[in-house]
Amino acid sequence: MRGILVLLAVIILAGLGYFFFWPQGGGEGSADGTMTGEDSGEASGEEMTTDTTSATDDDPYIWLEEVEGEEALAWVRARNEEALTDLKADPRYQDLYEASLEVYTSQERIVAGEPRDGFLYNFWQDETHVRGIWRRAPLEGYLVGAPDWDVLLDLDALAEAEDENWVWDGADCLRGSSRCLVGLSHGGSDANFVREFDLETRAFVEGGFYLDEAKQTAEWINEDTVLLATDRGEGSMTESGYPNTAAIWERGGVPEEAPLVFEGDLTDVGSFPGTYETPEGHYNVIVRARTFFEYEHYLVDADSTLTTLPAPARADLQGFHKGQVIFGLNEDWTVATSEGEETFPSGAVVSYALSDLAGGGALSAVHVVFAPEDRVAFQNAVLSGGALYVSILDNVVGRVDRATFDGTHWTLEPVALPDNGRAGIRATDDMSDKVFFAYESFLIPDSLYYAEDGAMPVQTQSLPEWFDAGGLVAEQHMATSADGEQIPYFLVRRADVPFDGSTPTLLYGYGGFQISMDPFYSGNVGRLWLARGGAYALANIRGGGEFGPAWHQAALLENRQRAFDDFIAVGEDLIARGVTSPERLGIMGGSNGGLLVGAVMVQRPDLINAVVCQVPLLDMLRYHMLLAGASWVGEYGNPDIPEEREFIAAYSPYQNLDSQADYPNTFVYTSTRDDRVHPGHARKMVARMIEQGHDVQYFERIEGGHSGGANLEQAAERVALEYIYLSRQLMD
């Protein structure tokens, strides 16, 4: 199944960025006190003044919001030249770049993919295939280490032939057919083109399904019909910039004229189709996101009518299995069943019979798949053709359970994967119980495991070590936040650090959108930082999903300051333990994490000596007016509402910059082609810092989208620039 979960995840990842701004993790080189209503005019840390002019046209740097404006791009190029000339002149730059590029382009990577119809489908990039190739191999040969790869689509060749900067955006293939819907984007933006592709001819279908560039979703109903959400012109896109309608698009028809089956409100986040393939049947659904966290779910029946799937507003559809509809709950759910009224807790996973919907009455029963425990939280579920696999964090350490349903209740059994790391579901086969699992930790490289029908997983691949982990330790500590909450964090360090405050330490955080930060292996962090004497810390602050919905909701809206206070507390704890000192402590974060480090820099410049701020949100009084920003009002609040504007203005980094403050030299990165977080945030912040006389280095990728680079060389360049900057600030 592609579509609904993937697309909603993209929206949710206001960042991380989870995909690339996860802090360059993985051997494949993939990247990311209390404020209450009564004291919302104040924030912890240094006293701040609030300037709200950026919400109006009086903002002196509003011209930098014109993404492709001639004057704005001239400013960008001037800043780029300054930063690149300076940082690349460092004699260490080339070595760091080559070390990072080796990670990104190495052939020694986990070759993973999607099992389907006896094949393993894989998208691959390396130094030869910089943009990448989409390929497949018979699953049997792949499992014994002898894959016979058949290239389906070469993006480098396609980009050259069509003179386009194509970036792969996935493929949705119809079961029992050779037809796929392939997504391609310009430079890595969220908006994409959709083109029908034939697996037998290895070519795009002439006169086939085709969509021009837009933020959109297309899902197969059958070989001649697609469930479509796209830009249909005026009134069809929400204020957040996503489709507001869903339509049935027949082959040969004009997509903008396809008959509608659903229409939401323009104030919604959007309406998103999705497809679930199971041995029992093919299910098409539409999820209406009224807000970022509140959904309505509809089943699209064979005659194109809609059936509502009962669930609370804050619930995530996980899929369909043996006639059951499965939801993860992000709030308590009180529901009438034939057994009486029952309440199921937030953080639980539940199911009910699809057949119950035909009668229109109460559900016959609601079954518990997973029940949350103290600091044991559900993360996500993935269906195979034979079972439901549930990913769980137990005090921020990953595990996977296999859930089976006997018609009356669910049984959970742990999958035998290694402990004390990140354990998760890599891929499943919709039609059979074939599952790939992934495991890694801070010091143990990625490994891929395979299992069928609930058997013991067998390791099929593992990565070589990118750095010498001998003498390094990974440990978990607790910091006490301003309101007394215990905040866990991981610390990777040399076992023999002197605890005299002299260790250069990089602290990473995210703290939003219920995204969890769990242990990971990173060739880049290891080679470019740990191997050179640095320590690395990963904070599990509120706003994330490490302990379920309540952990996330504790830092929403007027309580956003808690996330910043938690991060500050971790930094203070690192200093109190003697690991590091303010002169040796740096912070890094991307997207929502860019907001985090921007706010902490403004509030506590005395705590740190380096800030790496990646594709950030920084002008929080205008964020809802820029690109996808309106979709995040449920996370941050609405600046157009006076009482919400007050608590947002209290921490918004752009408004709270102080010309008299002693900020550390700061490195800010963004992308012109990022159509999720507007580059104007970073541009304006840097312009104001320069105006106030602060030291700041700025680099904007003219292409590359929210993920940070359109190809592997660009990704390696960004990483090298960041670690040269960190070396100068914390190691020299």
pLDDT of the residue at 709? 53
Contact 462, 447 (CB under 8 A): yes
Cβ partners under 8 Å of residue 657, min gap 6: 602, 685, 688, 689, 692, 694
Tens of pLDDT, residue by residue over 705-716, are 555 455 789 999
- The single-letter DSSP state of residue 465 is P
Q: What superfamily in CATH does domain 112-262 come from? A: Prolyl oligopeptidase, N-terminal domain (2.130.10.120)
Tens of pLDDT, residue by residue over 329-375, are 999 999 999 889 999 999 999 999 999 998 777 899 999 999 999 99
Tens of pLDDT, residue by residue over 502-545, are 999 999 999 999 999 999 999 999 999 999 999 999 999 999 99
pLDDT at 721 over 70: yes
pLDDT at 198 over 70: yes
Nearest to 46 by CA among 664, 617, 600, 689: 600
Main-chain phi, psi angles of 55, to 5 degrees: -85, 0
Tens of pLDDT, residue by residue over 395-450, are 999 999 999 999 999 999 999 999 999 999 999 999 999 999 999 999 999 999 99
Catalytic residue among 44, 591, 631, 671: 591
What are the residue ranges of CATH 3.40.50.1820 in the chain? 4-101+466-731
* CATH code assigned to 4-101+466-731: 3.40.50.1820
pLDDT at 676 over 90: no
- Please state the length of the chain: 732
- Extract the tokens encoding 628: 């996808």
What are the residue ranges of CATH 2.130.10.120 in the chain? 112-262
d(CA 16, CA 520): 15
Residue 355 is among the residues annotated as catalytic for this protein: no
pLDDT of the residue at 19? 30
Q: Which residue has the higher pLDDT, 385 or 190?
A: 385
- In Å, how far are 122, 637, 647 from 42, measured between CA atoms? 51, 17, 8
Q: How high is the mean pLDDT of the chain? A: 91
pLDDT of the residue at 706? 55
pLDDT at 671 over 50: yes
Token pair 């016979």 is found at 148
Tens of pLDDT, residue by residue over 63-99, are 999 999 999 999 999 999 999 999 999 999 999 999 9
Residue 681 is among the residues annotated as catalytic for this protein: no
Tens of pLDDT, residue by residue over 567-618, are 999 999 999 999 999 999 999 999 999 999 999 999 999 999 999 999 999 9
pLDDT of the residue at 55? 52
Catalytic residue among 129, 186, 694, 706: 706
Provide the CA 180 distance to its chain's centre, in angstroms. 25
- Extract the tokens encoding 711: 């190809």
Percentage of residues in the chain having pLDDT higher than 90: 86
d(CA 330, CA 393): 16
d(CA 697, CA 84): 9
User: What would the mean pLDDT of 324-332 be, rounded to a whole number?
Assistant: 98
pLDDT of the residue at 704? 55
- Extract the tokens encoding 174: 């119809």
Q: What is the secondary structure of 145-177 as a DSSP string?
A: T----EEEEEHHHHHHHHT--EEEEEEEE-TTS
